[in-house]
Structures are given as structure tokens and as C-alpha cells.
Structure 1
Amino acid sequence: MSRPRTVTHVYTLQTGWQKSLEGPLTAELADALRRRGVSMVRARRGLFDVREVSLLNESPPR
């Protein structure tokens, strides 16, 4: 199993992109971020593997 991505930034409509130190992107963290109004996150795995992950769907992050 690969290691989870680490959240580095969060996006909301009100504030836009903001730096964040949330930790590994797990299903529980994704649910908590959705409740706070976060719709996307930038998540890193390794030095060059950075992705923007939508939290709008209810499927667990990969």
C-alpha cells in the first residue's frame, strides 16, 4: 500500500488557497475538511508528486 498524500494547501470559495499543515489525507480528514467548507486540497507525496484533489465527491481520497 502506498503512503497517503500530505495536505499542504486548502481551498475555499471565501478565502481561496491557503497554506495548511493538516497532515496525511485520509478519509476522516477529508470529511472534517468538507465540514469546514474546504472544496479542494493540494496534496504531496514525495518531492515532485503534487496534486490538487477535489473533496466535492464522497469517495475516499487515493
Structure 2
Amino acid sequence: MAGKKSFPLRLDPTLYAALERWAADEFRSVNGHIEFLLREALRKEGRLPSPSKMAVKEDKNDADH
């Protein structure tokens, strides 16, 4: 499995505080909760590749290295 992509994310302090409380309520880190929320939004909009397509993509990436 490929590693996770990291990048800086700038958030309004009020937004971060709300995310921090919500993440704590769900027993997640803020980073994990943001990833969860993004994944759910993408899934609901049909923009997240299916798990089988993701596996094929990962296999192709592994072959390139």
C-alpha cells in the first residue's frame, strides 16, 4: 500500500477548534477526522474510486517502482 500524501493545511482557528471537539467526540485525531469527512463527502458524491479500482491503481504504481 502506498504511503499517505502529506501537505500543509491552513484553517481558521474557530473551524479548527470545532473540528477538534468533533474529532474528540468520535475518538479520532483531528487529522483522522478530516480524512474521514473528506472520504465520506467524496463517497456521497460518487467521486471516490471503488476499492477494486483503487487496488488496480496501487498495483500499477507498485509495478512502476
Query: Same-fold call, TM > 0.5?
Result: no
Higher helix share: 2
Structure with max Cα Rg: 2
Higher strand share: 1
Per the normalisation by structure 2, the TM-score is 0.20
| Greater relative CO (CA pairs within 8 A, separation 6+) | 1
Per the normalisation by structure 1, the TM-score is 0.21
